């Protein structure tokens, strides 16, 4: 035994430790045990977050993790050893390691939360024992349609439509993050719940205890980073298709929306603006003759108060300037990628020099002419055909096999970091097809890939979104109408049956992070469905307008995502964990804390809706409904079931054609009575990062049910553009008042100058 270990042994004996044959060493916030050549480290990063690190190497191995950025807190930790069990105790958790069984047990002050299965560890796998009826969620985003992941076998690897994130979120109020960057099998069966990775020299995972689902999400973001604010305009409506063939076509779509007075904020340019020859694939330059004046194009879009985002892939044709620069610096990966047989190669984003080059071309040819956001497509990356030797390619952080699943976080992170370094005037906005834990740091919206236009596929998007959100990443969306239409709707927009699916999908999209129309095979613009007066046009217009009317609510909820680690699309059990019915409800959810949304995912114009305990208000009729039961709701094609919790204070914005058209100086404030409630209205400059230095305001509004009184509290904070004087029109919701898109119902009008005011209703 070394002198160091003799000293540590003496310390342990001095504190009453029963010595074992194994080496036990106290770490700063935990302990280390070495037995038979295997070392187990248990470290408390905070009272709620514990890391378990197991390895067989003689020296502690270096670990690559692009996810974990948390600096360990100064935690009061007690370590004891008794009868072969070493225990770490902190103010929240107790973590015990039984050396003879090779088993770790996690407990709170009263109960066991989770156990490892005894002797179920390898360098690349670990099995856990769950309670018989324990529901678990997460694992990223998958198209299998399952919400609760019990009994599932899921291969966690980034491919189109499948996002593999090794995070399990339990209804018991904890999460496991299996911190292995390679492709990983998740299995849950009679043997236990297992993470089994393709490669690994050590077992490394984090136990995050939140007590409830919001605490779990907060813990995941504490460990891996918070989500920045996105620009206000990005919560408006986006129009896209595969693809706009010329700049005149793209500009013409924006103009048509403006002429129709249908709101629009984003226009999206898909691929081939570089031309049709795949040897020039993804040049990150406008080489297509149809885009002869990109500067003029962007001026026209901006002059109509819209914003453009553009598709940029991580792969490049051999004739492009960016390919040649990557090749000259040995920064291209080995595998074949789409479009095949043209020499197209993917860049190595793990190399900082490659990230520099990638941004250099984006900045010069896109950012500097005013393009406002980045559609970083195929960030899995695309890989086909697959050759086993492809995975031998060495990145600076290990082989491609070792780091396979982290491509999206390092690629999007490089763009975010470079844009922030160049300018803080515009917030980074990234739309991308894949993700990994920690990617929420990088201003990303993630979408569900090239899915089919199909009723069942629409239904499956809901559990996919909820599982993704429960894994800690807050902003998710899908192509309105599904990407491919040829399977079920080969006539596309000419088929009235597709019109109905599209409208229902758009209604769902209102209540997701990004409302974005996109797809192949058929155009999707509202005017392609007919004229105003036709039901499919009118229903779309209604719900696009609804999105804009909800912007004050949505933007303030986004602030809670940033400032309080909140969740936008909320599984019902997040609010009602004691109601076991909510554990399996996979076709409705809360949008923020106030709206229960039950999308219509079949051709039928009726659906059942489960309302948890409490009082609810039908958003469209104002009718009060008691919860704790399932109701049947008729769903005409221009409505979906939306219910608002009693006690909700809801700011409703003005009718606008784009998000920044009008200030929020005249807001309707709807009160849904029946319980006390509150809302915090958040405002800032709507873009840029001044909010990080305190450049924002909040106005807290509280409803006292007994007194029937709304208090609008003192404004907190300031920023140069803030409204100093404004009107709130307060209305008590009921049948016939404060309904749907109504913004004209008479209410109590008050002028607010920043000082507290009470409004009796």
Q: How many CB atoms lie within 10 A of CB 596?
A: 24
The residue annotated as part of the active site, out of 102, 450, 479, 683, is: 450
Contacts of 388 (CB under 8 A, 6+ apart): none
Return d(Cα 239, Cα 231) in angstroms, integer.
17
Tell me whether residue 450 is one of the annotated catalytic residues. Answer: yes
Q: SS3 string of 692-732?
A: HHCEEEEEEEEEECCCCEEEECCCEEECCCCCCCEEEEEEE
CA 38 to chain centre: 37
- Which helix (H) or strand (E) element contains residue 185? strand 184-189
Packing angle, helices 455-470 and 496-510, rounded to 10: 10
Burial (Cβ within 10 Å: 0-12, 13-18, ≥19) of residue 341: exposed
The residue annotated as part of the active site, out of 116, 204, 377, 586, is: 377
Tell me whether residue 380 is one of the annotated catalytic residues. Answer: yes
**Residue 238 main-chain phi, psi, to 5 deg:** -115, 135
**C-alpha separations of 404 from 163, 166, 187, 199, 401 in Å:** 12, 13, 20, 10, 5
User: Which residue matches tokens 């239904």?
Assistant: 459
Return d(Cα 74, Cα 121) in angstroms, integer.
29
Burial (Cβ within 10 Å: 0-12, 13-18, ≥19) of residue 261: exposed
Return d(Cα 755, Cα 761) in angstroms, integer.
19
CB 522 within 8 A of CB 492: yes
Return d(Cα 237, Cα 317) in angstroms, integer.
32
CA 531 to chain centre: 35
CA angle 486, 316, 242 (to 5 degrees): 25
Return d(Cα 97, Cα 87) in angstroms, integer.
6
Alpha helices in 345-406 (DSSP H): 352-365, 400-403
Return d(Cα 116, Cα 128) in angstroms, integer.
4
| CA within 13 Å, CB half, 22 | 25
CB 582 within 8 A of CB 571: yes
The residue annotated as part of the active site, out of 48, 179, 188, 380, is: 380
Burial (Cβ within 10 Å: 0-12, 13-18, ≥19) of residue 386: exposed
CB 159 within 8 A of CB 143: no
Cα distance from N-terminal residue to C-terminal residue, the chain: 77
Return d(Cα 539, Cα 506) in angstroms, integer.
9
| CA within 13 Å, CB half, 28 | 7
The per-residue b/e assignment along 597-629, b for 16 or more CB within 10 angstroms, e otherwise, is bbbbbeeeeebebbbbebbbbbbbebebbebee
Give the active site residues. 377, 380, 450
């Amino acid at each position: 035994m070394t002198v160091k270990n003799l000293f540590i042994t003496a310390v342990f004996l001095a504190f009453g430790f029963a010595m074992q044959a194994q080496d036990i060493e106290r770490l700063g916030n935990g302990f280390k045990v070495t037995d038979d050549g295997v070392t187990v480290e248990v470290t408390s990063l905070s009272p709620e977050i514990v890391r378990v690190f197991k390895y067989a190497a003689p020296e502690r191995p270096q670990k690559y993790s692009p996810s974990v950025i948390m600096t360990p807190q100064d935690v009061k930790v007690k370590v004891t050893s008794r009868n072969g069990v070493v225990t770490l105790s902190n103010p929240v958790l107790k973590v015990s390691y039984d050396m003879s069984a090779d088993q770790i047990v996690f407990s709170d002050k009263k109960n066991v939360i989770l156990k490892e299965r005894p002797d179920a560890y390898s360098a690349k796998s670990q099995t856990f024992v769950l309670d018989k009826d324990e529901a678990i969620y997460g694992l990223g985003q998958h198209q299998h349609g399952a919400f609760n992941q019990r009994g599932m076998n899921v291969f966690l690897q980034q491919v189109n439509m499948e996002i593999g994130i090794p995070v399990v979120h339990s209804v018991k109020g904890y999460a496991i993050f299996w911190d292995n960057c390679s492709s990983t099998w998740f299995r849950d069966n009679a043997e236990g719940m297992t993470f089994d990775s393709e490669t690994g020299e050590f077992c490394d995972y984090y136990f995050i205890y939140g007590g409830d689902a919001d605490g779990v999400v907060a813990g995941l973001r504490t460990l891996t980073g918070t989500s920045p604010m996105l620009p206000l305009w990005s919560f408006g409506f986006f129009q896209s298709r595969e693809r706009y063939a010329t700049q005149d076509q793209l500009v013409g779509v924006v103009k048509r929306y403006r002429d129709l007075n249908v709101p629009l904020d984003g226009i999206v340019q898909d691929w081939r603006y570089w031309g049709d020859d795949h040897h020039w694939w993804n040049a990150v330059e406008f080489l297509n003759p149809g885009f002869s004046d990109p500067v003029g194009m962007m001026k026209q879009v901006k002059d109509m108060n819209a914003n453009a985002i553009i598709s940029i892939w991580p792969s490049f044709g051999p004739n492009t300037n960016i390919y040649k620069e990557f090749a000259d610096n040995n920064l291209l990966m080995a595998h074949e990628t789409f479009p095949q047989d043209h020499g197209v190669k993917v860049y190595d984003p793990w190399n900082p020099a490659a990230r520099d080059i990638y941004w250099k071309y984006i900045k010069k040819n896109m950012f500097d002419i005013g393009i406002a956001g980045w559609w970083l497509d195929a960030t899995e990356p695309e890989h086909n055909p697959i050759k086993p030797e492809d995975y031998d390619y060495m990145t600076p952080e290990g082989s491609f096999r070792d780091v396979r699943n982290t491509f999206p976080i390092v690629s999007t992170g490089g763009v975010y970091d470079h844009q922030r370094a160049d300018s803080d005037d515009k917030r980074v906005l990234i739309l991308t097809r894949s993700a990994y834990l920690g990617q929420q740091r990088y201003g990303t919206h993630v979408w569900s890939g090239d899915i089919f236009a199909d009723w069942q596929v629409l239904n499956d998007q809901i559990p996919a979104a909820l599982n993704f959100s429960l894994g800690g990443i807050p902003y998710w969306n899908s192509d309105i109408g599904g990407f491919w239409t040829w399977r079920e709707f080969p006539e596309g927009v000419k088929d009235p049956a597709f019109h109905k699916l599209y409208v229902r999908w758009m209604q769902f999209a209102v209540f997701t992070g990004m409302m974005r129309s996109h797809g192949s095979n058929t155009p999707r613009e509202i005017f392609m469905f007919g004229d105003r007066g036709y039901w499919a046009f009118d229903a779309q217009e209604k719900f696009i307008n609804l999105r804009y009317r909800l912007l004050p609510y949505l933007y303030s909820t986004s602030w809670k995502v940033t400032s309080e680690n909140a969740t936008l699309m909320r599984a019902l059990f997040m609010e009602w964990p004691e109601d076991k019915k909510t554990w399996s409800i996979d076709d409705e959810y809360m949008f923020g804390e106030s709206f229960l949304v039950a999308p219509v995912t079949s051709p039928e114009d009726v659906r059942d809706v489960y309302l948890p305990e409490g009082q609810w208000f039908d958003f469209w009729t104002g009718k009060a409904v008691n919860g704790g039961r399932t109701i049947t709701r008729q769903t005409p094609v221009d409505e979906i079931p939306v219910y608002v919790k009693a006690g909700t204070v809801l700011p409703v914005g003005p009718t606008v054609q784009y998000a920044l058209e009008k200030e929020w100086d005249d807001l309707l404030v709807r009160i849904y009575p029946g319980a006390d409630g509150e809302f915090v209205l958040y405002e800032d400059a709507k873009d840029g990062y001044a909010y990080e230095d305190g450049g924002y305001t909040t106005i807290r509004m509280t409803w006292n049910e007994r007194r029937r009184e709304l208090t609008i509290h003192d404004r907190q904070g300031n920023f140069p553009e803030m409204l100093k004087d404004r009107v709130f029109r307060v209305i008590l919701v009921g049948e016939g008042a404060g309904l749907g898109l109504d913004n004209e119902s008479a209410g109590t009008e008050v002028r607010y100058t920043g000082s507290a005011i009470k409004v009796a209703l």
